[in-house]
Amino acid sequence: MASSSSKTQHEEGEKFVPSNEFVLQKHAAFFDLNHDGLIYPWETFQGFRKIGSGIALSTIAALFINITLSGKTRPGKCPNLLFPIEVKNIQRGKHGSDSGAYDNEGRFVPSKFEEIFAKHAHTHPDALTGKEVRQLLRANRTGNFLNGWVGATAEWFVLFILAKDKNGLLTKDTIRAVYDGSLFERLEKEHSSSKKKE
């Protein structure tokens, strides 16, 4: 089995560096504000605020994400009431009803990403409308796994709110950027520059 971390051992106090191969780590690492390999709810909250999310959505997202993923990314460890997420194990938080654009190790799967647009981008070839996002979610819903479907719905809902363009579209470049983790940095820069203008 491939290693899911760029370091074989992550020593306490050592800076965690996400693997270039496992882009899901890079996606999650944006929220690891002190780069210790752990994401606590307050870091998730601060990360959402940095990308322009309001206080209510940031609070709900932090609670939902950390409570849902903490136990999955910390296998064999005692439950922690601070609900940390271990970035090196983020692929263990994958859920059903997703697009399949990440494989089970957290690597990006280009063919599954392209499939999103081949199957669901009917109005514009390189973008999704809100209606098409809902169709994508219905098409990807697997079995009776409510948790996976709720997780997928929440992810796409938040993405649509924060990253749709002025025409109400989620562009292919934007969705690709969320998968490789670069969208969060871009949204942070945009939010920061808009605050400076105010």
Shared domain for 48 and 36, answered yes or no, is yes
Q: Is residue 62 part of a domain?
A: yes
Last residue of one domain, picked from the residues 93, 126, 147: 93
pLDDT of 11 higher than 60: no
Shared domain for 88 and 111, answered yes or no, is no
Q: How far is residue 179's CA from residue 31's CA, in Å, rounded to a whole number? A: 14
Parent domain of 121: 96-191
Cα end-to-end distance, the chain, whole Å: 50
Nearest C-alpha neighbor of 122 from the set 133, 111, 113? 133
What domain count does the chain have? 2
Please give the pLDDT value at position 132: 96
Task: Give the pLDDT confidence of 140-166 residue by residue, as tens digits.
Answer: 887 656 667 787 888 899 999 999 999
Shared domain for 83 and 26, answered yes or no, is yes
Shared domain for 30 and 102, answered yes or no, is no
Shared domain for 60 and 102, answered yes or no, is no
